[in-house]
Structure 1
Amino acid sequence: MDAGLLSAFIKKLVARLFVLADEKYKLYKGYKEDIHFLMEELPMITTAIDEQLSGTDDHTLHFKVNELHQLAQEMEDCIDRIMYCASKEQQPWYHINYTSGNRITSRFQLAKEMKRLKRRLQEAHQRKERYPVSRPSHTELPPSSSDRLIAQEDLVGIDAPLKELLEHLVETKGQWKQLNVISIVGFCGLGKTVLAQELYDSEIGRQFEKRAWVSAGQRNSEALLTEILQQVHEPPPLVYSDARQLSIDLRNHLNNKRYFIVIDDIRSKDQWNCIKSAFPRLQDVSSRIVVTTKFQSVANTCSSTNGYVHKMRRLDEECSKQLLLKESCLQEYSDSSSSQSDSKVILDKCDGQPLALTAVGQFIQSRNSVEQPEWEVVCKDVRCHLDSDDCLKRMYQVLTHDYTSLPSHELKACLLYFATFPSNHRVRTKRLMRRWLAEGFVVPSTLCSDPAAQSFKELMDRNIIQSVDVSNNLKVKTCKTYGMMHEYIIRKSLSENIIALFDDGKLQPKYARRLSLHDSSITDATNLEIDLSLVRSLVVIGEAGKAILNFRKYQLLRVLDLEQCTDLHNGHLKDICNLLLIKYLSLGGKITDLPKDIKKLKVLETLDLRRTYVKILPPEVIQLPNLISLFGKFKLPNTVVQNKLQKFLSSGQCKLQTLSGFLVDENEGFPELMVHMNKLRKVKIWCESSATSSSLTNVKKAIQKFIHDVKDPSDDPRSLSVHYEGCPENLLEGLEPPCYLRSLKLQGNIPKLPEFVTALRRLRELCLRSTRMTDDLLTALGNLKDLLYLKLIADELDQITFRDRALPNLLCLCYVVKHPTFPRTEDGALPLLISLQLLCENMDSQCSVQIKGFTRLREVVIYDEVNPDIKANWERAVKEHQNRPKVLLKRADPPEEATGNETTECFASLEGPVQETDIQMPAEEPKFASNSSKALFSSQFGSGKIGILP
């Protein structure tokens, strides 16, 4: 096993030991002595491993990694069995099916096992000198593509991005003459360096008075400045070792000169900040700097002032096939009908990545086959030979570097977890992060309250994973890994024995802690050799079969994701309710009812019923002491005993933070209980037309309690969604300040804006959906000073004008309308707007929205189905805008049929070339109405181009 992953695994194990040492487990004295010994010993081991990996260890302890890995896994098995047995003993007597004698025997066996593990650890210490951990060599990124000679005629799909960036090199009439920094950002292997090289060698690029090309990598500022100075200075100057003096000399030499400098492969913001002062920013000289990087945050920093960020796009299907056939010398098969369909398998694996297409093409060509290849076989061969074939070597080095350069072992484990999803699968971000937490890959601390979100942010920043669907508030809703990175992740996960993958009906290893089934055909228990009692995580997509769904064989499951399992039914729930250590449970299939025995799942944190047909929620679910997130669309039974539930909720034991959501009809169950749920942060409510006046009154009381502003300085991200179509218009009238929400979504008949909305403190996101929106409602929106994101969905909008200083902090404005009646804006309105989304199928060419006054605009989104003349008009309009924003085309397909309680949204088809939106919700709150907003958002878009947006 990788020593870094082992270190992360042991750290997680120590945390589990602390839990086990808690008094509630009532362990024997001998147990606790052994546990405290391990708690003291294991941190020393992880420290030793971390020091060896960092290269700082000189004489610390050495261990044989494989032996220690096996020992750590056995410790985890023992700890989890102790916790399972203890949890089982805490169940009421009528739930326990074994005698007191069996209980004592089980405890005795586990005590013996703990002593055996303690002895084995002591023996490992004694063998430390004979079994050292070899210090790994640090994996350096191989030379970039520019170091290989690539003829102009061999480049595929480069014309469009090259033309776009060349427009940024030239001096444009009417624009300020100043230094512009162009950042080219994207995943390794997409051709960043090649594109920069073409810019540098272009006729326009050669017209600059002073030019230099340097590769940053891990070089310090002195080395970079020295090389630039030597290239732009004639004759080359003496070499200085002082960065400050080098910066002064370079700045003096470049003053009043038009220069063009390319800095390839910048890897940190500090690297840029240390050298940027060397480049003069004169107002009368149009100089250019081009940087390439894989870090989105680095690109944004470099281009934060008078700059532009170009996010590399994948090649479309036609260009991908052209490059693959060219490199594999199979152009004669390009028109073959079988090739057209079968080659899609390998094209999906390469995912439009030029480096992958080139490597796989050369791999095919090296096999000296004169016949058209079997593409399915090629896919399997690539995975098998990824680390051994010379043709695939450079691609493997790039993928390995992306993995090994991750800053923490925990982040590596989070990345490898993507192997549990099929290739090219859209992964819901929130679902992913909840599973990371349940697995123990990330642990909340005083330093970071949301480590899962932080880990996701880091992976996104490195462009190792990509956004697929971005919501209107610019948050990433779904994501996926690149094709060949996914192959690397699967191979790494299998080799480290992290998962057992069923993707073709065959079991890969015989032992694993995580099982992932992707449309598997395993239906017979005789095909299954793995010990299911040790499995911690089970994910099923498609049919699972009787062998896998025999939950009596599982004991230690923590994550059970069955929302896409097609053969799951109510009969499985009895045994699922005996999985006492489960923290994450997502159900689908044909589930219609939950049994009362679900109350046995005392440590359950997430219960997702959105893909089930469960309409009535057992009250026992509400009483689960550790439940944090509950998803579905349900109500409580009419016979529920309110007093008992209210007593539990009032005791403060309820940890529920997300309730999304519940139905309100003649049943008054949930509204009465919600008042007593003091830790709620996200609530979704559906009010049916059959709701009684008493029920609606209770809903109103519950909402009033939920939005009450306690003026907590931490300002928790409180979110409310209310659907009340068919209910009285005044349902939300009379809600009183002080009130607080970060996000509000209202759907119903909304003739005017409810008064409480304008009283909400720090409201950031507002979505309104109504058949018609009046001028009174729309005018009232202009007074929402703190609003960042506004989405309006209606058949008809009254014509209004946003006055000067209206919505002063709005970043994103989205209209989804049937008729093209968009509000007009005066100069000074919406001064910080960066994203304008005008989604109207019937849009005419005389759109009333004028974008010239939006001085910070970076994107305009329209439907792909609009008239081609309208697209052309928009392209002309953005070219005349000072920021040259992008025009993105949103292609909304009909939603797929929802399953059970699931609500669906329209997303774009992922057909190449895909233009992902480059702006996303910032991790921290932006500073409002100040220049810092420009620094955060001014350069995260392209300019004057049309792309496809999800």
Structure 2
Amino acid sequence: MDIVVGALSGMVDALPGKLGALLDQEYALLSGVRDDVRFLQTELGSMRAAIRRCESLDHHDAQTTGWVGRVREVAYDIEDWVDLFAIRVDGGAQPTPGFRAWIRRGWDKVAALPARHVIANELQGLKERVLEISEQRKRYSLDGMVGTTAQPPLDPRLSALFVEPNSIVGFDEEVERVSKLVVDAGSRTELKIVSIAGMAGSGKTTLANAVYRRLQNNFECFAFVSIGPKRDMVSNTVKDMLSKFSGQHRGGEDINQLITRVRDILAKKRYLIVVDDLWSSEQWGTIRCCFPENSLGSRIIITTRNDALPMDSYPCRSKVVHKISLLSDADAKKLFLKKAFSSRNDCPPHLEGVFTQVMRRCGGLPLAVVTVAAKLAQKHSRDEWGKLAGLNLLCNSYSNGSDGLKQILNLSFNDLQPHPRTCLLYLSIFPENYEIDTDRLVRRWIAEGFIAEGRSTSAEETALGYLNELIGRNLVQPLDLNYERVPAHCRVHPVIHDFIVCKSMEENFSTLMDAQHVPNNDSTVRRLSLKNSSKQDQPAARNESMDLPHARSITVFGHASAVPQLTNLKVVRVLDLEGCDGLVCLEGLCKLVLLRYLSLKGTAASELPAAIGDLKCLETLDVRSTKVGELPPSIVRLEKLMHLLAGSAKLPGGIAEMKALRTLSCGGPTKSSLNFIEEISKHNTLRELELYSDDTEMPGNKKGVMFPANGFWSVKKLCIRQSSPLVTFEPRALPAIQALELRFQKGLADESSGVSGMENLSSLKCVLLDFEQHDAGAMVTVDAVRNAAQRVLPDHQYITIKVDGKSY
């Protein structure tokens, strides 16, 4: 039985530190409470060690799985208790010095005594649960039982080594291309490494084996060896290689002796070695020592799920990465029909409609195509095919036979560290094939508490590092890379999505449901992802039978009628209604004291509650593309707000005093707020700025939006959206600017460019100019901006100009 502990491990890692921080605060804990907190801190440390032991093993019994599940639930509740503590005791206010403040704190402590007694009782309940879980571990000797009952399954990758050449479909061009990379490119005498990288099940081993068979007779010495994810497999791989070269090995030799013997054999021979299924730099750092650079034209082929390996550490100058492609629709169809119907070239007419759905779920992944075809080979009923087309390939009663596919994906999942593993599970919240905005994802990860700031890195940088790792391991697909190679969006392959949905359900990490079919599930809902296709007012998610008081995030796709009653969401951190149709009810919003991420983007919301400033934990507020015209004055009280995305809405005074702001999107300067730019230009933490300006309210001097000298010194990205180009950059303005977006509707009537001073932006790396209308004034601006951008960006690599949807 597989066990999912990735998200749990990351949370239990953090909890002892959270409890320690609580003890360090100057809170007046009731008698005994401090000792109980210390007890939880110690016991959770012990549980963390046990969970780590679970993580290191491949197979677990039902008792261990149940015990981990109980630890998960109590860990969630302890974290909720800690996060609510300060807010319930003193509203989360920071201690201030002075005699009056001391008197006020004393009075607050007296007034909060009833709440403190409730808090103490809750803590006692948590302590009792932890004691019971600890006793259960001892009573059933779980530490000694984990990983001892199940036999490891056969490795499904073995079949790829014995595929007959005439049965390979869709790989002819790949085999030809990689063969040329191995033999032809570069110097014929120097050692060359060709890395075949791609997602699990994409046919890397099959491709490498086909190339190996084709080329092996051109070399004096050749071998095909596999490693696998376990670190202790390297020595076995070297022994296997030695056995293939010499027919035997002596036994009892350490890894250094084995490597020396291999090097001696290869030193004066032209060799071809395939190292299949490489996982880590540590593995490569050892096994690469086997391969001498003998200037005889030797070649090494490596297959890996990680695009960054093994090119990061080897003195060899000739290195090439070949990213294996997924099957085209035509090849995927051909492979499926060959496996499902043997010699049949066409799908039976009565199955054609559902066949398209089945192929879409496979997404061109060869292993998925073969697996599903094998399931349906003896089933010619449309109902049976339709059932599979509409279900998760990996976690339903109809998925028997997918164990090999699931096992291969498990290898990638289990090789991740706890925090990236949690971040991957989180993607199960989004629908299949959904293009996820990177900024949205990163901010949600941070709001959920998955990301911690390092000593020299911000939380955003750490989160992007996790995303890049998932991309590099071919678990997430990047879309729309920018000048820094950061994707604007990302997506999960349908098979990977099925897999993480399955894992998420096993761990009760998230609850995924259709609003029209509320499941009878006794599990506590921690994260709710709700799809509501109905346009009628059928708020199924408001059903009182759903346990939502413990929900940490609510995400709704479709119609807003299914949004749960906000008064039920006592510990929610993320409320994401982006793109929901229909009216959005915000009653009770200001009572969500732990809320960190709120997105109403693209909804019909028309105003925010006046008391929104009470949401002291709020970090992201997104009301872009809504009917909200102006933000409430209380917004300036949100001391932790980092991303204020108001779109075209106007801001109240005092925004410049919000010191935590990193991203600001808002209505630009008007006649009633001519000093707005000057005010926010002194903001020293702002990194991204988006201005929506109205030409009709611009000052009459035709300068429009003017960016002053020595202003906005920390802004790296600027986007201006307005009807016509009226922008001026003074010398020494925006000294850190790297990305500039200018989006206009039309050019100026007098056919002047309207954009001046771009040559002053010396640190610029990327320029985007976009006009909705093609007119003479627009083309004058295009020429002026292009010329200025080319002077700043000599390589012209990141200059993008579009007019009426066409590139120029």
Smaller-chain TM-score range? Answer: 0.7 to 0.9
For residue 479 of structure 2, give the secondary structure of its aligned residue in structure 1.
strand
For residue 577 of structure 1, give the secondary structure of its aligned residue in structure 2.
helix
2:334–2:345 contact (8 Å) kept in structure 1: no
Residue-by-residue CA offset, 1:28-56 (whole Å, 9 max, x unaligned): 4554443343234322332343256448x
Measured in 1, the distance between the counterparts of 2:733 and 2:530 equals 51
2:716–2:739 contact (8 Å) kept in structure 1: yes
For residue 668 of structure 2, give the secondary structure of its aligned residue in structure 1.
strand
Give the Å deviation of 1:756: 2.0
Distance 1:79 1:239, change over 3 A: closer
1:200–1:206 contact (8 Å) kept in structure 2: no
Counterpart in the other structure of 1:39: 41
1:689–1:727 contact (8 Å) kept in structure 2: no
Using the TM superposition, name which of 375-384 and 628-637 deviates more. Answer: 375-384
Measured in 2, the distance between the counterparts of 1:600 and 1:106 equals 19
In the alignment, does 2:688 pair up with 1:685?
Answer: no
Distance 1:324 1:274, change over 3 A: same
Distance 1:148 1:735, change over 3 A: closer
In the alignment, does 2:798 pair up with 1:793?
Answer: no
Matching of residues 429-468 of structure 1 within 5 Å: 429-446=438-455, 448-450=457-459, 451-468=462-479
Measured in 1, the distance between the counterparts of 2:542 and 2:441 equals 32
Distance 1:580 1:376, change over 3 A: farther
Matching of residues 608-623 of structure 1 within 5 Å: 608-623=622-637
Identity %: 28
Residue-by-residue CA offset, 1:532-585 (whole Å, 9 max, x unaligned): 222111000102435x3322222221100101221343xx22322221210000
Distance 1:54 1:374, change over 3 A: closer
Return the TM-score normalized by structure 2: 0.82
Matching of residues 664-675 of structure 1 within 5 Å: 664-668=669-673, 670-675=676-681
Give the Å deviation of 1:456: 1.5
2:191–2:294 contact (8 Å) kept in structure 1: yes
- Of 713, 721, 739, the match for 1:743: 739
Give the Å deviation of 1:678: 2.5
1:720–1:741 contact (8 Å) kept in structure 2: yes
- Of 9, 12, 20, the match for 1:10: 12
Counterpart AA for 2:575: L
Distance 1:396 1:189, change over 3 A: same
Counterpart in the other structure of 2:74: 71
Using the TM superposition, name which of 324-333 and 466-475 deviates more. Answer: 324-333
Residue-by-residue CA offset, 1:829-864 (whole Å, 9 max, x unaligned): xxxxxxxxxx66xxxxxxxxxxxxxxxxxxxxxxxx
Measured in 1, the distance between the counterparts of 2:4 and 2:440 equals 27
Counterpart in the other structure of 2:545: 529
Measured in 1, the distance between the counterparts of 2:546 and 2:259 equals 63
1:181–1:302 contact (8 Å) kept in structure 2: no
1:180–1:286 contact (8 Å) kept in structure 2: yes
For residue 180 of structure 2, give the secondary structure of its aligned residue in structure 1.
helix
Measured in 2, the distance between the counterparts of 1:626 and 1:375 equals 52
Counterpart in the other structure of 1:726: 724
In the alignment, does 2:407 pair up with 1:397?
Answer: yes
Counterpart AA for 2:201: G
For residue 307 of structure 1, give the secondary structure of its aligned residue in structure 2.
strand
Give the Å deviation of 1:388: 9.2
Counterpart in the other structure of 1:539: 555
Measured in 2, the distance between the counterparts of 1:673 and 1:416 equals 42
Matching of residues 33-182 of structure 1 within 5 Å: 33-51=35-53, 53-54=55-56, 64-79=67-82, 82=85, 85-86=88-89, 107-133=116-142, 134-136=145-147, 142-146=155-159, 149-171=162-184, 177-182=189-194
Give the Å deviation of 1:488: 2.0
Measured in 2, the distance between the counterparts of 1:220 and 1:626 equals 48
Counterpart AA for 2:665: S
Residue-by-residue CA offset, 1:770-796 (whole Å, 9 max, x unaligned): 7356599648845668x896324266x
Distance 1:223 1:778, change over 3 A: farther
- Of 369, 384, 387, the match for 1:357: 369
In the alignment, does 2:291 pair up with 1:279?
Answer: yes
Residue-by-residue CA offset, 1:345-401 (whole Å, 9 max, x unaligned): 222222211111111121223xx4343444341146665766996622211211222
Measured in 1, the distance between the counterparts of 2:787 and 2:297 equals 43
For residue 620 of structure 1, give the secondary structure of its aligned residue in structure 2.
helix
Give the Å deviation of 1:130: 0.4
Counterpart in the other structure of 1:419: 428
Matching of residues 568-583 of structure 1 within 5 Å: 568-569=583-584, 572-583=585-596
Residue-by-residue CA offset, 1:261-292 (whole Å, 9 max, x unaligned): 21111111232233435434455x44322110
Give the Å deviation of 1:439: 0.9
Distance 1:115 1:169, change over 3 A: closer
Measured in 2, the distance between the counterparts of 1:277 and 1:127 equals 48
Measured in 2, the distance between the counterparts of 1:428 and 1:514 equals 19
Measured in 2, the distance between the counterparts of 1:282 and 1:348 equals 48
Counterpart in the other structure of 1:932: none
In the alignment, does 2:758 pair up with 1:754?
Answer: yes
Counterpart in the other structure of 1:557: 572
2:518–2:541 contact (8 Å) kept in structure 1: no
- Taking CA–CA contacts closer than 8 Å with sequence separation of 6 or more, which of the two structures ends up with the larger relative contact order? 1
- Of 478, 481, 488, the match for 2:492: 481
Matching of residues 762-801 of structure 1 within 5 Å: 763-767=764-768, 771-772=779-780, 778=787, 781=790, 790-793=798-801
Return the TM-score normalized by structure 1: 0.71
- Of 642, 658, 662, the match for 1:628: 642
Measured in 2, the distance between the counterparts of 1:407 and 1:592 equals 43
Distance 1:753 1:719, change over 3 A: same
1:84–1:580 contact (8 Å) kept in structure 2: yes
For residue 110 of structure 1, give the secondary structure of its aligned residue in structure 2.
helix
Distance 1:397 1:817, change over 3 A: closer
Tell me, which stretches of 5 or more residues in structure 2 are unaligned? 58-63, 95-108, 745-752, 771-777
Give the Å deviation of 1:506: 2.2
Residue-by-residue CA offset, 1:449-506 (whole Å, 9 max, x unaligned): 3332222222222111222333354221222222222212112212222222113732
For residue 596 of structure 1, give the secondary structure of its aligned residue in structure 2.
coil
Measured in 2, the distance between the counterparts of 1:373 and 1:726 equals 57
Counterpart in the other structure of 2:773: none
Give the Å deviation of 1:190: 0.6
Using the TM superposition, name which of 305-314 and 66-75 deviates more. Answer: 66-75
Counterpart AA for 2:518: L
Distance 1:187 1:701, change over 3 A: closer
In the alignment, does 2:663 pair up with 1:658?
Answer: yes
Counterpart AA for 1:631: L
Counterpart in the other structure of 1:519: 532
Give the Å deviation of 1:296: 1.1
For residue 501 of structure 1, give the secondary structure of its aligned residue in structure 2.
strand
Richer in helix (by share): 2
Counterpart in the other structure of 1:940: none
1:675–1:706 contact (8 Å) kept in structure 2: yes
Residue-by-residue CA offset, 1:298-326 (whole Å, 9 max, x unaligned): 14337873222111211122222332333
Counterpart AA for 1:578: K
Distance 1:25 1:676, change over 3 A: farther
Counterpart AA for 1:487: D
Measured in 2, the distance between the counterparts of 1:338 and 1:101 equals 76
Distance 1:198 1:332, change over 3 A: closer
1:662–1:670 contact (8 Å) kept in structure 2: no
Measured in 2, the distance between the counterparts of 1:634 and 1:381 equals 42
Counterpart AA for 2:387: V
Give the Å deviation of 1:607: 0.9
- Of 326, 336, 341, the match for 1:314: 326
Counterpart AA for 1:414: C
Measured in 2, the distance between the counterparts of 1:374 and 1:221 equals 44
Measured in 1, the distance between the counterparts of 2:396 and 2:435 equals 24
2:582–2:604 contact (8 Å) kept in structure 1: yes
